[in-house]
Amino acid sequence: DLGEYDRARDVYGMAIDRLGEDFMDQHVFISFAKFETRLKEYERARAIYKYALERLPRSKSQALYNQYTLFEKQHGDREEIENVVATKRRMLYEAAVKKDEHDYDTWLDYARLEEETASIEDPQSIERARDVYERAIAEHPLVAEKRLWRRYIYLWLNYALFEETVAQDIGRARQVYLACNELLPHKSFTFAKFWLQYAWFEIRQLDVTAARRALGMAIGKCPKDKLFRGYIEMELELREFDRVRILYSKYLEFNPTNCTTWVEFAKLEMALGESERCQALFDMAIDQPTLDMPEVLWKAYIDFTYDLGDFDKTRSLYGRLLTLTDHVKVWISLAQFEYAVALDAEKLTAARSVYERAYKRLKELGLKEERMALLEAWGDVETEDRMGDFSLVEKKMPKRVRKRRELEDGSLEEYFDYVFPDDEEQGARFKLLAKAHLWKQKARKSDASSINNESREMETADSS
């Protein structure tokens, strides 16, 4: 109040010296910093806050830190504010990883924080990020279970990317990949993401041999679908089609049931103009005893022969497929194919022939909903074609009726059923035959009884 600012500073300095580190109090520093702030000595105030935060333990500096945050928001620039926020987050992360050293999500967030503040122009920021990564990867899972390693492996992958892209230390990035490779328990499990990221790293360093060696080693140790696909994608980028063929062959030896792989291999041969190779691959594929998605494979083969204009082969494929399945979509597809390839005058006849065969077959199998779907598709053709006759379909259309059925627990459940006209006719004829058979049996019984009566009468007459 007397304007003796220098003497006031001396008093604050004496208080700090006399108290020493053992009895240092955060409120003394807060008061000192606020004093400098009132005098608009913002740099002095900032220096006081930083000096105190470096020396006081976190447990005794929460109020000090809050005041420092408020000070920077009021008087600091954007960089200073970001530093304050980062410092606060560091404190939270440190407390979390101290509580649980295997909390990999927190380690990842902590490392990401240091990456965001790291810059090649600031070596200290690079070292801070490295220090966090090194501390994190040192806490590896104690049990070789993949679920425990799944998050941990991202620490290594992010560390390697940090060294390559932020620190721009290629040699150190390669060391990170190699160290991770030594640590992973490949005999128990592996991570395709690690191998693929390492391979692409070597590609970026123009070392294709090292990339191929890495992926070859990975497939040899623990083959996986993702590894094969990644390796094939890399060779496709390099336009090494002979190597791609070899990889597809190895892939299909490893997993011959994968229809997507068969189709992609065939499409590659088609793109390279090798239609005979493509057809041979499809023929091999449909002869496999087990396939995970056969409908995808058959559709691709049928589309391939159709695009080539080999309609006889397409028709033959539909025939083979219908020996394996009676799915209504296959029948509809066949009818649409016959309608598309036939001459204009024969389009409807060809399609109707297929629809009638399909209807008869689905009726034999008792598939009512499928028959309804077939009739709807058939009706669309008859409606859209100028020579069509929708009455052919209309007279086959079913009625939708409500019925009840008994469940296992004895309760009744209502459901909707389709009643087809030809089923009703067949049912009526069956009832008529049943009644005729019953009448015939009654007639035989009545004839037999009358004969017995006549024989009794004759015996009575003879005896008299």
List, as one string, the DSSP characters of 219-263. HHHS--HHHHHHHHHHHHHTT-HHHHHHHHHHHHHH-TT-HHHHH
According to the model, what pLDDT value does residue 152 have?
A: 93
CA 153 to chain centre: 20
Bridge partner residues of 164 (DSSP): none
Cα–Cα dist 140/183, whole Å: 9
Give Cβ neighbours of residue 157 (< 8 Å, ≥ 6 apart): 180, 193, 194, 197
Closest CA to 135 of 115, 160, 108, 161: 108
Give Cβ neighbours of residue 338 (< 8 Å, ≥ 6 apart): 315, 350, 351, 353, 354
Say if pTM beats, i.e. exceeds, 0.85: no
Cα–Cα dist 215/31, whole Å: 63
Contact 155, 137 (CB under 8 A): yes
Contact 33, 45 (CB under 8 A): yes
Helices (H) and strands (E) in the chain, counts: 22, 2
Residue spans of alpha helices (H) in 76-224:
78-99, 104-117, 123-137, 146-161, 170-183, 192-204, 208-221
Give the up-direction half-sphere exposure of residue 182: CA atoms within 13 A in the CB hemisphere: 7
Cα–Cα dist 358/355, whole Å: 5
CA 368 to chain centre: 35
**Residue 310 tokens, joined:** 């080999």
Q: At what angle do helices 104-117 and 123-137 cross, to 10 degrees?
A: 170
According to the model, what pLDDT value does residue 443 have?
A: 67
* pLDDT tens, per residue, the chain with 464 residues: 555 677 777 777 777 777 776 667 778 888 888 877 877 777 788 788 777 777 777 667 778 777 777 776 666 655 665 666 677 788 888 888 899 999 999 999 999 988 888 888 888 889 999 999 999 999 988 888 888 898 999 999 999 999 999 999 999 999 999 999 999 888 788 899 999 999 999 999 999 999 999 999 999 888 899 999 999 999 999 999 999 999 999 999 999 999 999 999 999 999 999 999 999 999 999 999 999 999 999 999 999 999 999 999 999 999 999 999 999 999 999 999 999 998 888 889 999 999 999 999 999 998 899 999 999 999 999 999 888 889 898 898 888 888 888 888 888 888 888 888 887 555 554 455 446 556 666 766 665 555 555 555 555 545 54
Cβ count near 60 (within 10 Å): 11
According to the model, what pLDDT value does residue 435 have?
A: 60
Cα–Cα dist 211/204, whole Å: 10
Cα–Cα dist 189/149, whole Å: 10
According to the model, what pLDDT value does residue 277 have?
A: 95
DSSP 122: B
Cβ count near 250 (within 10 Å): 14
Cα–Cα dist 228/253, whole Å: 11
According to the model, what pLDDT value does residue 318 have?
A: 94
Give Cβ neighbours of residue 287 (< 8 Å, ≥ 6 apart): none
Contact 219, 229 (CB under 8 A): no
Contact 331, 354 (CB under 8 A): yes
Q: Is 4 exposed, middle or buried (0-12, 13-18, 19+ CB in 10 A)?
A: exposed
Bridge partner residues of 400 (DSSP): 418
According to the model, what pLDDT value does residue 144 have?
A: 81
According to the model, what pLDDT value does residue 190 have?
A: 87
Closest CA to 339 of 358, 357, 320, 352: 352
